[in-house]
């Protein structure tokens, strides 16, 4: 008996992850455009920013686990994926209610609504024909790029963007975006190569997202 998850289940998980990353990218873009205010106190975050960043990072990690397990039949890998996916629900809920206040809770509810919508869509008869894997790497890169142009809360009330002489150079973001697009295209043409490239993009995206706030 195979230890792999059914393909439709894999589609549902990846669809939820893609929706999460797209919503997180949209949120970061709104922050970058100042449609969502940053606040005034140094070290602060925009409305709902804490839970969005947390869940986006956990979604990237979950996508990485699912991507790496694509060529593996080890049941333990899939159990790890399930634990990671469950973790971002639990941790996000705890952070939003105990630490972040109403802004974090609203952000969490929006993200969860996106997940429910994506799962409902992927549960239709067309789920077996949906190919969401090529979208994973571009969605991850979209989040990283949008975050790169948001503001660093460390310098508040001065609005200094992550891209303004930060720890991560702009050339790195360009390379990541190009690699993500190449991974998406490769996944359609050469699935095995595309899966490997997607895993690389996800790994780099996690490290880059965290490193943006380093080196003040």
* pLDDT 10s digits, 74-127: 444 444 444 555 555 555 544 444 444 555 555 555 555 655 554 555 455 444
Q: Is residue 41 part of a domain?
A: yes
Closest CA to 96 of 112, 118, 80: 112
Q: Is the pLDDT of residue 9 over 70?
A: no
Cis amide bond preceding 157, omega within 30: yes
Domain membership flag for residue 74: yes
* Model pLDDT, residue 74: 43
Per-residue CA distances from 71 to 77, 99, 102, 131 (Å):
11, 39, 41, 17
Q: 67 or 202: whose pLDDT is higher?
A: 202
Q: How many domains does the chain have?
A: 1
pTM score: 0.75
Is 189 part of a structural domain of the chain? yes
167 occurs within a structural domain = yes
Domain of 141, in residue numbers? 7-211
Residues 152-196: tens digit of each pLDDT:
888 888 888 888 877 788 899 999 999 999 999 998 888 888 888
Is there a domain that residue 59 lies in?
yes
The answer to whether residue 73 scores a pLDDT higher than 50 is: no
In a domain, 1, yes or no: no
Of residues 52 and 139, the one with the higher pLDDT is 139
Determine, yes or no, domain membership for 78. Answer: yes
**Residues 9, 14, 15, 19: what is their CA dihedral angle, to the nearest 10 degrees?**
150
Residue 125 lies in a domain: yes
């Amino acid at each position: 008996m195979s230890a792999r998850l059914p393909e439709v289940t894999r589609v549902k998980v990846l669809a939820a992850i893609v929706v999460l990353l797209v919503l997180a990218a949209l949120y970061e873009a709104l922050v970058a455009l100042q449609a969502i205010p940053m606040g005034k106190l140094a070290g602060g975050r925009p409305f709902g920013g804490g839970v969005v960043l947390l869940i986006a990072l956990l979604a990237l990690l979950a996508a990485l686990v699912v991507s790496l397990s694509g060529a593996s039949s080890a049941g333990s890998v899939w159990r790890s994926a399930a634990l990671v996916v469950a973790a971002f629900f639990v941790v996000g809920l705890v952070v939003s209610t105990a630490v972040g206040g109403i802004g974090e809770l609203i952000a969490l509810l929006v993200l969860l609504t996106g997940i429910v919508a994506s799962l409902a869509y992927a549960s239709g008869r067309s789920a077996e024909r949906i190919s969401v894997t090529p979208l994973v790497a571009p969605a991850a890169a979209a989040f990283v790029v949008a975050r790169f142009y948001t503001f660093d809360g460390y310098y508040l009330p001065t609005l200094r963007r992550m891209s303004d002489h930060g720890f991560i150079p702009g050339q790195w973001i360009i390379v990541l975006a190009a690699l993500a697009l190449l991974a998406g295209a490769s996944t359609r043409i050469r699935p095995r190569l595309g899966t490997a490239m997607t895993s690389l993009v996800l790994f780099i995206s996690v490290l880059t997202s965290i490193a943006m706030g380093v080196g003040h």
